[in-house]
A and B are shown apart, each in its own frame.
Chain A
Amino acid sequence: MGLDTYSVLLILRIVLVAILYLVILRVVGVARREMRVAERAPGLVTRGKDVVGHLVVIDSGSTPLRPGARLDVEPITTIGRSPTNTIVLDSTFVSTEHTRILFRDRSLWVEDMSSRNGTLVDQNRITAPVAVTPGTILQVGDVRFKFAV
């Protein structure tokens, strides 16, 4: 019972290409499933510490910070010369407790702690708490930062 070789070849030809498409379909299926799982569990990507944003050093002034360094912003972040602060700026232009950053209503707020040289947000000296967004420039004494996500 000889099966015509050409029909076998035709079937093989179709099956071979079909296998390639099956690989694609299966991988897409796996990817979809993974994405759905990732969507359901947003906690998967969070890090250990509660970080709500970053401060990027643009101008380190007279502190030993490295320009470009990323500092974590926590829900309550204090900036000043005293070592009790979250972010310590060792500069004579910075007061002991200079500036406070708070996380309220899904937004970051910058508040001056009645410092001697003041806190500047986008080059304006602030007198009341100001909401900031990524990209905002913050100046504390002679140190300048940029807010980043």
Chain B
Amino acid sequence: MIYRRRYRWTEMWLLLFPAAFLILALLELELTQNASTPLTRNTLPPVDVFTPAIGLMIALAVTHVLLNLFAPDSDQTLLPIAGTLASIGVIMALRIGSSPGFDVPSLGTKQLAWVIVGLGFCVGTVVLTRDLRWVRNYKYTWAAVGLALVGITLVNALRHFNTNAPSRDVLSIGPGGFSFQPSELVKICLVVFFAGYLSENQEMLSAGSVPIGGIKFPPLKQLGPLLFMLGLALIIAVGIRELGLALLIFGMVLSMTYAATNRMTYVFGGLALFTVGSVLAFSVFSYARVRLAIVSNAFDPNVATNAGYQIVQGLIAFASGGVFGSGLGLGHPTFVPASNTDYIAASFGEEFGFAGLLALLGLFMLLVFRGMYVAIRARDPFNQLMAVGLTSVFALQTLVILAGNLKLMPLTGVPLPFVAYGGSSVIANFIIIGFLLRLSENKA
């Protein structure tokens, strides 16, 4: 093997963009605080205001240097894309946290801390997975760990049974009230398991040898564990009342199975199963019925002030942004409940407008594109399927939450990758970036 120890210039140049974005966004935020006074040298913000921006820039630069050391040949666009998205997230957290009616000025700093921890985890993943075989050999362990994490949450939730809580996906650790959402890490564990399983049974699953009604099904020995793990994951996801998570896992497994077997039968079968599952969820869970009803009659006066309040306010926020937005710091994002988490897209859309939202979508599209490119160039089926699965997590999450925000499908609380406020999600997403970097480093 030849080592090409070239400096990652492309990555460095691309990282200048999020840096510029951070500085200018903070400048704009500061200026909007006293927008009525004319701009002179005296009214320019003091330098220490830019501390969060500089903190994130340093963190990105350090990550860049570490990647030069540990994975010099890996993809050079992933970190800048994720960095830009994370910058948007930090700026939005800072902006929403300091707005009247929200009053958590430390929100931006907290998000910044999470991003820095996330970058640390990203580099850690790159270093620890130098040889991906150990990850692959313990695939059942990974699946067990992942499901156990959610299982504990489920038990915990059932003990303090509260029928009104929409989600039970929080696990508190220690007396400090430090809590995290295990479902974020479960996704990664499941991707590892399914990549390992599918790459080993790829041929049998795609060939099929048991003909039932004209279609050749793979033998139960190969299909069984796949369906069992999928079923278990879905049951637990539904148990903690995270229909969004269930949707995510299902879509992820379906994309991976299709990528592994190249058979449309699985896609059609999956969609049929999905329909059955949706009807079941619809008839069993009242909150699922409510969510679906909101989509059809959100603007009904009774709904718009109650169950549909959030979604209607979100749509108004999008609309008031118009094409070019109100400008950062000049909108009213806090009118929407959960403006910093589930409705971060609405907050961003209001202040950056349709133009900004389109750029945001473009960034996510590029992230998915680069992830799939990593998959194409990866070394073996396991590496390829890992890349496909991890990338599909980004794609599906973005799709589910944005479509929910825009009232195109029932709203489920899935965080928008990197942008939405929340430690678990940011860390998990940076671990995924770490895996993708490693997979692109180990290309064939």
Which A residues contact B (CB, under 8 angstroms)? Answer: 1-6, 8-10, 12-17, 19-24, 26-28, 30-31, 34, 38, 44-45, 47, 56-58, 67-68, 70, 146, 148
Q: What are 11 contact pairs spanning A and B, CB under 8 A?
A: A1-B40, A5-B35, A9-B327, A15-B24, A16-B352, A19-B20, A23-B80, A24-B362, A26-B13, A27-B370, A38-B377
Supposing A31-B373, A47-B444, A70-B203 touch, asked if A4 and B28 sit within 8 A by C-beta, the answer is no
Asked if B80 and A68 sit within 8 Å, CB to CB, the answer is no
Cα–Cα, bound, A20→B356 (Å): 8
Asked if A2 and B40 sit within 8 Å, CB to CB, the answer is yes
Query: Please, what's the 1-or-0 string for B406-444, where 1 marks a CB less than 8 Å from any CB in chain A?
Result: 000000000000000000000000000000000000001
Cα–Cα, bound, A26→B31 (Å): 29
Supposing A16-B21, A24-B359 touch, asked if A9 and B28 sit within 8 A by C-beta, the answer is yes
Asked if B204 and A67 sit within 8 Å, CB to CB, the answer is yes
B204 nearest CB neighbor, chain A only: A68
Cα–Cα, bound, A4→B31 (Å): 11
Task: List residues of chain B with CB within 8 A of the CB of A13.
Answer: 28, 324-325, 327-328
Main secondary structure of the interface of B (DSSP, over half): helix
Smallest CB–CB gap between B60 and chain A, Å? 13
Asked if B14 and A5 sit within 8 Å, CB to CB, the answer is no
Asked if A20 and B31 sit within 8 Å, CB to CB, the answer is no
Smallest CB–CB gap between A41 and chain B, Å? 12
Task: List residues of chain A with CB within 8 A of the CB of B353.
Answer: 17
Asked if A23 and B17 sit within 8 Å, CB to CB, the answer is yes
A135 nearest CB neighbor, chain B only: B207
Task: List residues of chain B with CB within 8 A of the CB of A27.
Answer: 14, 77, 80-81, 366, 370
User: With an 8 A cutoff between CB atoms, is B360 at the interface?
Assistant: yes
Total interface residues in chain B, CB < 8 Å: 53
Smallest CB–CB gap between A27 and chain B, Å? 5
Please list the 4 inter-chain residue pairs (A to B) with the smallest Cβ-Cβ separation, ordered nearest first. Answer: A2-B38, A20-B359, A56-B203, A12-B28
Smallest CB–CB gap between B147 and chain A, Å? 25
Asked if A4 and B80 sit within 8 Å, CB to CB, the answer is no
Asked if A3 and B444 sit within 8 Å, CB to CB, the answer is no
Asked if A9 and B330 sit within 8 Å, CB to CB, the answer is yes
Task: List residues of chain A with CB within 8 A of the CB of B356.
Answer: 16-17, 20
Cα–Cα, bound, A23→B369 (Å): 14
Asked if A4 and B39 sit within 8 Å, CB to CB, the answer is yes
Main secondary structure of the interface of A (DSSP, over half): helix
Asked if A16 and B328 sit within 8 Å, CB to CB, the answer is yes
Cα–Cα, bound, A47→B379 (Å): 9
A70 nearest CB neighbor, chain B only: B203
Task: List residues of chain B with CB within 8 A of the CB of A2.
Answer: 38-40
Query: Please, what's the 1-or-0 string for B61-105, where 1 marks a CB less than 8 Å from any CB in chain A?
Result: 000000000000000110011001000000000000000000000
Q: A9-B330, A27-B14 are in contact. List 12 more A-B contacts (CB 8 A).
A: A3-B39, A5-B36, A6-B35, A9-B32, A13-B328, A17-B352, A19-B21, A30-B76, A31-B77, A56-B203, A146-B203, A148-B203
User: With an 8 A cutoff between CB atoms, is B153 at the interface?
Assistant: no
Smallest CB–CB gap between A65 and chain B, Å? 12
Supposing A16-B352, A21-B359, A68-B203 touch, asked if A4 and B21 sit within 8 A by C-beta, the answer is no
Q: A26 contacts which of B17, B24, B32, B35 (Cβ < 8 Å)?
A: B17
Q: Which of A9, A14, A34 has the most chain B CB within a 10 Å cutoff?
A: A9
Cα–Cα, bound, A8→B77 (Å): 31
Asked if B38 and A12 sit within 8 Å, CB to CB, the answer is no
Q: A3 contacts which of B38, B369, B370 (Cβ < 8 Å)?
A: B38
Asked if A26 and B38 sit within 8 Å, CB to CB, the answer is no
User: With an 8 A cutoff between CB atoms, is B25 at the interface?
Assistant: yes
User: With an 8 A cutoff between CB atoms, is B10 at the interface?
Assistant: yes
Cα–Cα, bound, A44→B73 (Å): 14
Asked if A20 and B28 sit within 8 Å, CB to CB, the answer is no
Task: List residues of chain A with CB within 8 A of the CB of B24.
Answer: 12, 15-16, 19
